[in-house]
Amino acid sequence: MFSLKTENEGDKALSVASAEPIIKIQGLHFHYNPESEHPIHALQGIDLDIYPGDYLVIVGHNGSGKSTLAKNINVLLRPTEGDVWVKGMNTRELTNTLAIRSAVGMVFQIPDNQIVATIVEEDVAFGPENLGVPRDELQERVEWALGVVDMLDHRHRPPHRLSAGQKQRVAIAGVMAMKPEILVLDESTSMLDPEGRRDVLAAVRKLNEEGMTVIAITHFMHEAAEGNRVIVMEAGKIVMEGTPRQVFAHVEELRALQLDVPQTTELAYRLNQRDSTFPPDLLLVDDVVAEIQRRVNGRSRA
């Protein structure tokens, strides 16, 4: 693995790294069907610290172990070898399960499987109600969560009448209403249209800005720019890690792992190949535009 951690981290990455990890993963191996003739070694020695307020994006080819890693964080699975601690609680201890599950909210890919009630607000209330949140606070939380995902106007509607994007926002509101300290999104935007995806990302960004730790698994490389850290997985291992700019500067290595890079990075990379003074690691459209503009202006003044 080549780690990109030490170079020029952004302010946010530095400030969060000074705290104690909220999730600590050490020597984690996971086998599916361990007793069978052909056990599947889905995680092969993961070491990872995640800090409070991190927005960690996990990318990797199909089957690289991303979902298995996420499930080991909220105790849907337990390590075959190694340890996972959430807020200091080891996931191997059965007595920690409930406390860990209330600290870690998880949103999956398909919203339909996550919606349980026939009215939007009842669905959002379901999780916190099960956690024993009192009535008046419950009402407050439901309104807050629906407000964050911009679905308050739909509170009295039956979920099956909503679009896929709206359903996914309701599913996210349901998890948020439980006020987890850590939000795990496993390809939660993959079923959505671009607008739905933007809405969900904006809601998640807002929560992260308010201090929630976010772990987002995605196939959309440009979504990785949302995070302060990115890890790249391959065959059950972490093969790259760093800030989005650091990771996506490694265009050739990512391609070798059959991963795309964001279009902006691709453009910056090609411009850098033509003119090595052009920065190859620009990630945001605005940054690429500004760099090109700066050069055009410089040339016209010369």
Residues that bind ligand ATP (CB under 6 A): 32-33, 40, 42, 60, 62-68
For ligand ATP, the closer of residues 68 and 213 by Cβ is: 68
CB 60 within 8 A of CB 66: yes
Q: Give which of ligand ATP, Mg ion, none residue 144 binds (C-beta under 5 to 8 Å, depending on kind).
A: none
Q: Which of 233, 239, 196, 241 is nearest to 217 (CA)?
A: 233
Q: Give which of ligand ATP, Mg ion, none residue 65 binds (C-beta under 5 to 8 Å, depending on kind).
A: ligand ATP
For ligand ATP, the closer of residues 72 and 213 by Cβ is: 72
Q: Give which of ligand ATP, Mg ion, none residue 276 binds (C-beta under 5 to 8 Å, depending on kind).
A: none
Compute the Cα dihedral for 154, 159, 162, 165 and give only its sign. positive
> Taking the complex as a whole, how short is the minimal distance between the CB of residue 109 and Mg ion, in angstroms?
8
Q: Which of 238, 285, 288 is nearest to 45 (CA)?
A: 238
Q: Which of 245, 253, 244, 283 is nearest to 267 (CA)?
A: 283
> Taking the complex as a whole, how short is the minimal distance between the CB of residue 186 and Mg ion, in angstroms?
6
What CA–CA distances, in Å, run from 22 to 4, 48, 108, 250, 298?
A: 21, 11, 21, 29, 47
> Taking the complex as a whole, how short is the minimal distance between the CB of residue 101 and ligand ATP, in angstroms?
19
CA–CA distance, 233 with 61 (Å, rounded to integer): 7
Task: Compute CA 259 distance to the chain's CA centroid, rounded to the nearest angstrom.
Answer: 17
For Mg ion, the closer of residues 67 and 264 by Cβ is: 67
> Taking the complex as a whole, how short is the minimal distance between the CB of residue 111 and ligand ATP, in angstroms?
16
Contact positions toward Mg ion, by CB under 5 A?
A: 66-67
Q: Give which of Mg ion, ligand ATP, none residue 42 binds (C-beta under 5 to 8 Å, depending on kind).
A: ligand ATP
Q: Give which of Mg ion, ligand ATP, none residue 60 binds (C-beta under 5 to 8 Å, depending on kind).
A: ligand ATP
Q: Give which of Mg ion, ligand ATP, none residue 64 binds (C-beta under 5 to 8 Å, depending on kind).
A: ligand ATP
For ligand ATP, the closer of residues 22 and 58 by Cβ is: 58
Q: Residue for token digits 């969060």?
A: 16
Collect all residues with Cβ–Cβ distance below 8 Å to 207 and sequence separation of at least 6. 148, 176, 183, 214
For Mg ion, the closer of residues 65 and 196 by Cβ is: 65
> Taking the complex as a whole, how short is the minimal distance between the CB of residue 148 and ligand ATP, in angstroms?
26
CB 149 within 8 A of CB 200: yes
For ligand ATP, the closer of residues 104 and 146 by Cβ is: 104
> Taking the complex as a whole, how short is the minimal distance between the CB of residue 254 and Mg ion, in angstroms?
18
What CA–CA distances, in Å, run from 244 to 16, 65, 105, 185?
A: 16, 20, 24, 18
